[in-house]
Amino acid sequence: MTIPSGPAQEDAVPVGLDAARATLRVDAAGLHGAGAAILAEAISSARYVLIGEDHLSREIPAFTLGICRLMVPDGLDALAVEIGPEAARLVDAHLRRGDRLARLAAVLTAHPDAFAFQNGRDESDMAAACAALAGPDFQLWGLDQEFLGAPGYLFEQMRAARPGPIARAAIARLAAADRAATRRAVASGAAGDLFLYHVDDRQLAETDAAILHDGGAHVAALFDALCETRAIYLRQEEDGRASNFRRARLMQRTLLRYLAARPRPPRLLFKFGAVHMGKGINALGQRDLGDFVAEHAREEGVGALHIAVYGARGVRALYGGVGRQVRHQPFVLTDDADYAWLAPALPSAADTRTGDWTLIDLRRLRTTASPLPSPAWRDAVHRYDLVVVAPELTPSSLIGTL
């Protein structure tokens, strides 16, 4: 989610900041105040709304649900999130069930770390509430690679597709290896003990050949998803930028497949980490999914609205290990040099006491004749249309964990 700060003047105040600032209130009923009016106006002219966030808080899903409420009257077809397509199909199938959490927890108990983010209680509740508001045709779309613990679930789906005997035997061998690796990983908590980090190219090539022999198209697609996931995670260990570039290309291709399957252009809400959702070149020096959507919207002649959402302080939920609950890390946003530029935009002491959020309409800062005070402000103003800051973030919890 990083937007790097410049070497100096990170906390300087941009000309026009006061006029671009508005107060926003977020509660169970939705969004309120002058900031809500700005959001409503901006959303009304957007086919694509993109939220770039800090993951696994309780507050940002509440804000996202408020955005759903604003989008639904003019149509909301899908919520695109940072999980894989197979994980999204699983979650989508349970969105409207009264026993949703129990069913998802059962899958995650059987296959720890089978999917990310939508295993958060607040994320899951938000998606279900958004589906209830949007109606029966609403879908959850997963654009990312599958998660670290997904192979066991993917092998189940392969077997359910009834491959021929040669493919079935090859899949069974890998599934047994996955079960053994998962037991080790759950005992240690270390992601590096999972199957993806230990299966070798020869085993995958043999299984691929078997699936090509009598596995069928659906099994082949599931196996390709597993191999792509492995490639992305292995590359992450060697070269994070290259891994994210591969992820970005995958997310773009997957989005195009979802779009091609629709009879008409859909209206979409995206919720990803902030590094993925901006326009132009991101903090990794790459054009990510947000820029792809911005260009796609431009070609269609429709609007795309890019919103960055941060917390001024609080406690973050961080990965706690395979199948385990999150761990907690207190933070103050501007203690991180990459966010020092945001200091003048943070909620005031009075806002913090009342729980009010702050919205900065970055579009207004693009029109000022005065130059922005730092490279970080210039980057933010061109990557995002709005910045929203909660006074405090509190950590969500995961379902289906030890």
Q: How many C-beta atoms surround the C-beta of residue 102 within 10 A?
A: 12
Work out the pLDDT band at 1, boundaries 50, 70, 90. Answer: very low
CA 256 to chain centre: 17
User: Tens digits of per-residue pLDDT, 106-143?
Assistant: 999 999 999 999 999 999 999 999 999 999 999 999 99
Rounded-to-integer distance, Cα 59 and Cα 355, Å: 11
Counting Cα atoms < 13 Å in the Cβ hemisphere of 269 gives: 29
Beta-bridge partners for 32 = 25
Residue 320: C-alpha distances to residues 104, 120, 191, 386, 400 (Å): 19, 13, 10, 32, 13
Tens-place pLDDT, residues 184-225: 999 999 999 999 999 999 999 999 999 999 999 999 999 999
pLDDT at 350 over 80: no
Q: Are 250 and 228 in contact, with CB atoms under 8 Å apart?
A: yes
Find the range with the poorest average confidence among 20-29, 337-346, 364-373: 364-373
Separation between Cα atoms, residue 74 and residue 260, nearest integer Å:
22
pLDDT, position 334: 95
Token couple for 206: 């043999």
The answer to whether 275 and 376 have CB atoms below 8 angstroms apart is no
Contacts of 31 (CB under 8 A, 6+ apart): 24, 25, 39, 40, 63, 66, 67, 69, 70
Instruction: Identify the pLDDT of residue 252.
Output: 98
Q: Is the pLDDT of residue 56 over 90?
A: yes
For the chain, the average pLDDT equals 95
**Structure pTM?**
0.95
Q: What is the mean pLDDT of residues 134-159?
A: 98
- Write the CB contacts of 302 (distance below 8 Å, at least 6 apart in sequence): 46, 47, 48, 265
How far is residue 364's CA from residue 197's CA, in Å, rounded to a whole number?
A: 48
pLDDT digits (tens, 9 = 90+) for 296-316: 999 999 999 999 999 999 999
Q: For residue 370, what pLDDT is reported?
A: 75
Q: What is the pLDDT of residue 10?
A: 53
In tens, the pLDDT along 194-205 reads 999 999 999 999
Residue 241 gets which letter from DSSP? H
* Strand ranges across the sheet with 78-81: 30-32, 21-27, 357-361, 386-390, 304-311, 48-53, 268-273, 78-81, 139-142
Helices 59-71 & 121-134, crossing angle to 10 degrees?
10
pLDDT at residue 11, rounded to an integer:
61
Separation between Cα atoms, residue 213 and residue 207, nearest integer Å? 10
**pLDDT above 60: residue 5:** no
